[in-house]
């Protein structure tokens, strides 16, 4: 077996066998296959695609290329994981995880950092003073056993083949391949060890998948992989045509998380509704009950404060100062604040949501490169969403930053991302489809 043969086979549109895929990943991870040959194969996959079996084989080979967890052996059969494909203002994990844990199911969650216009769950948690997201696996599992919940960064040696291949895809124009995207995401989920997996696939201007057909293809591919790997898997396709909730930026989003967990009446309804639906789907996936029962239980632990208590317990267990949960006003406010005003009277019609994320990035809320340092206080708070009626000159957003030199550029970027209409537009569906 040679790499030349595999490249030729895929160039002709033929399927690679399980043995061939395993050989490919083992030898590329160990450095025996050069980048230029893997690049050729990745381009052939982009052009010719992969079968469901090939994609499942690729996922499993990448998942087994490094460290793996067996959560069932450590935590029992009802282990469940959630993955979001990312977006602007997406802080759902920080609401959903405490809800699920408050209802007695173990949540052992490994999350990522943000890069580009999308935020990272780990960065948001690290805006809480003292919060630790890096720990040995034994410590991670012991926290889950004792407290029912732990959210950490991804293991440095989890799915190393995926890390190596993704870095190559990023510079060879081979990122936009459904089989490769699906295998990349699912390899980390399989390695993380949960028996049940719920996928939150975002679609819209702030998502990787900009349109519903593309999002559906990705969701279907990932669900097929999960089932092919013996994991009970489902997906919800949710909206990212505008930022989720009102807050964008790390400590600003933690404040909004606490607001939702406190069951405040003025919590952003879109964020609440999406989190209730995701939580109920996770419960349903582990046979907790029918969807109506699951939704009722989710709302119950939000209303009685148990989900908030579980979030505070997690913060404390991971070294964080839980007083920031009970008193979120303790978070430092950025030195420089700028209001953004409506440029005309009418209704907010549309957001370029990716552009809004870039505006937050300019303020310091995210990273353009992996080595950039985040300003936890930086970000944006929206005062108007799609369908909101505004008067010209009325505040529609507030920008926060400690980088005075970029605030004007961020403001100009944000203004260019919002459009208005004389008549009220149709509100976007929050949940597009279940797969």
Condensed to tens digits (0 to 9), the pLDDT of residues 166-208 reads 889 988 989 889 999 999 999 999 999 999 999 999 999 999 8
216 and 278 both lie in a single domain: yes
| Rounded percentage of the chain residues whose pLDDT exceeds 90 | 88
Residue 122 domain-assigned? Answer: yes
Strands 395-401 and 379-382: antiparallel
144-153, 155-164, 213-222, 426-435: range with lowest mean pLDDT: 155-164
Residues 6+ apart with CB under 8 A from 386: 241, 242, 348, 349, 350, 351, 425, 427, 428
Q: What is the mean pLDDT of residues 26-42?
A: 96
For residue 80, the domain's CATH number is: 3.40.1030.10
3-state secondary structure of 309: helix
Catalytic residues: 83, 162, 169, 184, 188
**How many structural domains are present in the chain?**
3
Residue 48 has pLDDT above 80, yes or no: yes
Q: 85: closest CA among 253, 212, 238? A: 238
231 and 248 both lie in a single domain: yes
Instruction: Please give the model's pTM, rounded to 2 decimal places.
Output: 0.93
194 and 309 both lie in a single domain: yes
Residue 64 domain-assigned? Answer: no
Kindly state the tokens that stand for 103: 């209802």
Residue 86 has pLDDT above 90, yes or no: no
Residue 429 domain-assigned? Answer: no
81 and 187 both lie in a single domain: yes
319 and 337 both lie in a single domain: no
Can you tell me the distance from the alpha carbon of 135 to that of 113, in angstroms, rounded to the nearest whole number?
15
**Residue ranges making up the domain that contains 120:** 71-159+177-326
Confidence class for position 142, pLDDT limits 50, 70, 90: very high
143 and 274 both lie in a single domain: yes
Comparison of pLDDT for 70 and 395, the residue scoring more = 395
How far is residue 31 from each of residues 37, 42, 54, 165, 337, measured CA to CA in Å?
12, 16, 22, 12, 49
Q: What is the pLDDT of residues 219-254, one digit of tens each?
A: 999 999 999 999 999 999 999 999 999 999 999 999
Residue 56 domain-assigned? Answer: no
129-143, 164-178, 322-336, 372-386: range with lowest mean pLDDT: 164-178
Cβ-contact 234, 198 below 8 angstroms? yes
Residue 433 has pLDDT above 80, yes or no: yes
């Amino acid at each position: 077996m040679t790499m030349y043969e595999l490249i030729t086979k895929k160039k002709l549109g033929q399927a690679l066998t399980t043995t061939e895929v395993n050989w490919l990943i083992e030898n590329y991870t160990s450095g025996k296959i050069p980048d230029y040959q893997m690049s050729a194969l990745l381009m052939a996959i982009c052009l010719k695609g992969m079968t469901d079996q090939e994609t499942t084989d690729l996922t499993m080979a990448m998942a087994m290329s490094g460290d793996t967890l067996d959560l069932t052996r450590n935590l029992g059969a009802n282990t469940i994981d959630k993955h979001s494909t990312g977006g602007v203002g997406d802080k759902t994990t920080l609401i959903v995880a405490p809800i699920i844990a408050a209802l007695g199911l173990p949540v052992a969650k490994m999350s990522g950092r943000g890069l580009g216009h999308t935020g990272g769950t780990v960065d948001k948690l690290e805006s809480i003073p003292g919060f630790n997201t890096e720990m040995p696996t034994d410590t991670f599992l012991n926290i889950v056993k004792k407290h029912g919940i732990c959210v950490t960064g991804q293991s440095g040696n989890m799915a190393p083949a995926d890390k190596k291949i993704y870095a190559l895809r990023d510079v060879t124009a081979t990122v936009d391949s459904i089989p490769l995207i699906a295998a990349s995401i699912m390899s980390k989920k399989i390695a993380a060890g949960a028996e049940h997996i719920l996928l939150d696939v975002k679609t819209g201007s702030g998502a990787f998948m900009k349109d519903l057909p593309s999002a559906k293809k990705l969701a279907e591919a990932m669900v097929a992989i999960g089932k092919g790997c013996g994991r009970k898997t489902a997906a919800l396709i949710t909206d990212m045509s505008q930022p989720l909730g009102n807050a964008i930026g790390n400590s600003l989003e933690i404040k909004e998380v606490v607001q939702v967990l406190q069951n405040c009446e003025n919590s952003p309804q879109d964020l609440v509704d999406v989190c209730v639906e995701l939580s109920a789907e996770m419960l349903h996936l582990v046979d907790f009950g029918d969807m109506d029962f699951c939704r009722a239980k989710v709302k119950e632990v939000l209303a009685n404060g148990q989900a908030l208590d579980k979030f505070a317990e997690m913060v404390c267990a991971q070294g964080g100062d839980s007083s920031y949960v009970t008193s979120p006003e303790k978070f430092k406010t950025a030195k420089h604040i700028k209001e953004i005003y409506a440029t005309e009277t009418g209704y907010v019609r549309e957001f370029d949501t990716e552009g809004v994320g870039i505006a937050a990035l300019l303020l310091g809320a995210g990273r353009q490169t992996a080595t950039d340092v985040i300003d936890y206080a930086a970000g944006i708070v929206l005062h108007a969403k799609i369908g909101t009626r505004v008067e010209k000159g009325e505040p529609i957003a507030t920008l926060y930053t400690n980088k005075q030199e970029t605030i004007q550029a961020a403001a100009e970027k944000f203004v260019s991302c919002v459009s208005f209409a004389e008549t009220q537009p149709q509100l976007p569906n929050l949940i597009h489809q279940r797969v």
